[in-house]
């Protein structure tokens, strides 16, 4: 691998791409330290430093922003509005015939769909900015201490509020632009690399929290050992599952094209164990924040009614990543969304129709509807493994928290929070994808690749 890296930097074009990628990521990390106008950054840093790392809302927002939420920077939303818009467009494509036609047009159709995605990103970014600030306000108990001038009343707050929202939306669009530049001129998938860079940049600070003062030294050592073992085991499991696939054999019949006769060929359809990737975790965590948000809207501190007590209970259960109900519902949502998203993705590919159109068939299975039913049955069986795996990875902090309580080891859950399971899935996926792109570039020039 060292020789391959040396070969990559020896090629002027590839060296330029690698250095350009590093430059864009460096710019993102620099901008991620510019605070949002109107925020009391001193009070915000004091709050985040005193917050438990098991704060599900803060960890989730920080993950998607590439670490920018901890600084409440103009990049605090990261590229999440763009990801949301992409998911919405992807889910709407099989429903809206016009989008389906555009997708079938090839490169020009995909460019138009990308344009629609950008248009949808702007209003989603505005809503995300308002919602994210309100959620943080609910989470800390009072938004006035962090952002004293946010809101549309009184009238004097309107201009500061618009300034804050414009800065956050502008930061998101700038992050998307940086990601596009990396994809076009650099190496790897730009949006994923931005999130990857933020996760990796936060690892040293998270490691330092393992040795926070006031914690027993033996507990710190045990937590560090647990972190190393847990990270290695999780990495191996993620690579094994992410790269795992079920290969369905496909046979092509004898074909005549003009004067040429093509003999039948044997190949296979690679069905991945985890087709959905990181998307179900994003869906599940987004939905998991809704009950606490809705409950906060109805809570009245002066009221002692049963309805108010129910709202307080919902807020405590779903707004705090310390409860069993939180992690149990999280697991169920991840599993459910994995099946849902995988079904949508596979149905969009129309594998049965493509095989029939190209003269291929699965041995022992009739072409057409029977082939479609067979493929979906196989996909759902192997997705069960991927769904349960994703669910377990997502709730690793909760599992370690429970083990720490049983063994009476304070802070053991920190071993699963230095790099969360969700973050590890992103890291593994991005690293493998980037290495493959570098490998293809080297193989084009007759060099051995990384993998």
- Could you tell me if 386 and 178 are in contact, meaning their C-beta atoms sit under 8 angstroms apart? no
* Residue 132 main-chain phi, psi, to 5 deg: -65, -45
Inside any domain, residue 403: yes
Regarding whether 152 and 226 lie in a shared domain, the answer is no
The contacts of residue 278 (CB under 8 Å, 6+ apart) are 422, 425, 426, 429
CA distance 92 to 81: 16
Quick one: pLDDT at residue 262? 61
What residue numbers bound the domain in which 104 lies?
1-210
State how far the alpha carbon of 401 is from the alpha carbons of 282, 411, 420, in Å: 22, 8, 13
Identify the three-state secondary structure at position 106. coil
Give 300 or 320, the one with higher predicted confidence. Answer: 300
Regarding whether 341 and 206 lie in a shared domain, the answer is no
Inside any domain, residue 438: no
CA distance 349 to 105: 15
- Could you tell me if 417 and 206 are in contact, meaning their C-beta atoms sit under 8 angstroms apart? yes
Q: Name the least confident of 105-114, 190-199, 288-297, 345-354.
A: 288-297
Per DSSP, 36 falls in state P
Regarding whether 73 and 196 lie in a shared domain, the answer is yes
HSE toward the beta carbon, residue 394, CA cutoff 13 A: 30
Regarding whether 375 and 334 lie in a shared domain, the answer is yes
**Concatenated DSSP letters for 351-387?**
HHHHHHHTTEE-TTS-TTHHHHHHHHHHHHHHHHHHH
pLDDT for 169 beyond 90: yes
Regarding whether 203 and 226 lie in a shared domain, the answer is no
Rounded to the nearest integer, the mean pLDDT of the chain is 79
Number of compact structural domains in the chain: 2
For residue 296, give the CATH number of its domain: 1.10.3370.10
Regarding whether 29 and 68 lie in a shared domain, the answer is yes
The model's pLDDT over 149-167, given as tens digits with 9 standing for 90+, comes to: 887 878 888 898 999 999 9
Inside any domain, residue 447: no
Distance, C-alpha 416 to centroid of its chain? 17
Regarding whether 185 and 262 lie in a shared domain, the answer is no
Regarding whether 135 and 190 lie in a shared domain, the answer is yes
Residue of 308, 32, 299 whose CA lies nearest to 175: 32
Inside any domain, residue 331: yes
- Could you tell me if 449 and 443 are in contact, meaning their C-beta atoms sit under 8 angstroms apart? yes
The model's pLDDT over 249-296, given as tens digits with 9 standing for 90+, comes to: 888 876 666 666 666 678 888 888 888 877 787 778 767 777 776 776
Residue of 433, 363, 380, 15 whose CA lies nearest to 191: 433
Strand runs (DSSP E) across 150-309, as ranges? Answer: 245-252, 255-257, 260-262, 266-272
Give the β-pairing of 360-361 and 266-272: unpaired
Q: For a pLDDT cut of 70, what percent of the chain falls above it? A: 83
Regarding whether 199 and 230 lie in a shared domain, the answer is no
Inside any domain, residue 160: yes
Inside any domain, residue 378: yes
Regarding whether 243 and 203 lie in a shared domain, the answer is no
pLDDT for 364 beyond 80: yes
Inside any domain, residue 60: yes
Per DSSP, 267 falls in state E
Which residues make beta-bridge pairs with 272? Answer: 245
Regarding whether 167 and 59 lie in a shared domain, the answer is yes
Quick one: pLDDT at residue 257? 65
Q: Which of 154, 185, 210 is the last residue of a domain?
A: 210
Inside any domain, residue 394: yes
For 174, counting Cβ atoms within 10 Å of its Cβ (0-12 exposed, 13-18 middle, 19+ buried), the class is middle
pLDDT for 212 beyond 80: no
What DSSP element (H or E) covers 192? helix 190-201
The model's pLDDT over 218-245, given as tens digits with 9 standing for 90+, comes to: 777 877 888 888 888 888 888 888 888 8
Q: Which of 157, 190, 210 is the last residue of a domain?
A: 210
Q: Which of 210, 233, 259 is the last residue of a domain?
A: 210
Regarding whether 225 and 200 lie in a shared domain, the answer is no
């Amino acid at each position: 691998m060292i020789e391959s890296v040396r070969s990559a930097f020896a090629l002027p074009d590839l060296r330029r791409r690698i250095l350009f990628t590093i430059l864009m990521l460096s710019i993102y990390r620099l901008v991620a330290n510019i605070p949002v106008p109107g925020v009391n950054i001193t009070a915000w840093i004091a709050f985040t430093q005193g917050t438990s790392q098991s704060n599900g809302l803060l960890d989730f927002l920080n993950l998607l922003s590439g670490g920018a939420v901890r600084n409440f920077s103009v990049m605090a939303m990261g590229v999440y509005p763009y990801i949301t818009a992409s998911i919405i467009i992807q889910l709407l494509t099989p429903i809206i015939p016009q989008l389906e036609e555009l997708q079938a047009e090839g490169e020009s159709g995909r460019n138009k769909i990308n344009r629609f995605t950008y248009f949808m990103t702007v209003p989603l970014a505005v809503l995300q900015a308002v919602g994210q600030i309100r959620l943080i306000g609910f989470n800390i108990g009072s938004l006035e201490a962090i952002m004293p001038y946010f809101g549309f009343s009184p009238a004097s707050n309107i201009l500061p509020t618009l300034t804050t929202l414009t800065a956050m939306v502008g930061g998101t669009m700038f992050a998307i632009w940086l990601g596009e530049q990396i994809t076009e001129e650099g190496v790897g998938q730009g949006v994923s690399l931005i999130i990857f860079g933020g996760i990796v940049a936060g690892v040293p600070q998270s490691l330092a929290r393992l040795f926070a003062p006031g914690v027993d030294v033996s507990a710190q050592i045990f937590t560090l050992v647990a972190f190393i073992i847990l990270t290695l085991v999780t990495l191996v499991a993620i690579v094994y599952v992410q790269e795992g696939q079920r290969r369905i054999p496909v046979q092509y019949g004898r074909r005549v094209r003009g004067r040429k006769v093509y003999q039948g060929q044997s190949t296979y359809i690679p069905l991945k164990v985890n087709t959905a990737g990181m998307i179900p975790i994003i869906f599940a965590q987004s939905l998991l924040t809704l009950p606490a948000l809705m409950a906060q809207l109805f809570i009245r501190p002066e009221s002692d009614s049963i309805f108010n007590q129910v709202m307080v209970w919902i807020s405590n259960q779903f707004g705090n990543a310390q409860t069993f109900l939180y992690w149990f519902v999280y697991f169920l949502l991840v599993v459910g969304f994995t099946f849902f998203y995988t079904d949508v993705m596979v149905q969009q590919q129309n594998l049965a129709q493509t095989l029939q159109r190209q003269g291929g068939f699965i041995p022992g299975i009739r072409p057409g509807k029977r082939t479609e039913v067979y493929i979906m049955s196989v996909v759902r069986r192997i997705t069960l493994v991927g769904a349960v795996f994703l669910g377990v990875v997502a709730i690793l902090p909760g599992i370690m928290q429970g083990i720490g309580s049983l063994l009476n080891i304070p802070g053991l859950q920190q071993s699963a929070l230095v790099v969360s399971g969700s973050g590890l899935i992103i890291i593994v996926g991005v690293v493998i994808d980037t290495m493959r792109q570098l490998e293809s570039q080297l193989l084009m020039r007759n060099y051995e690749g990384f993998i």
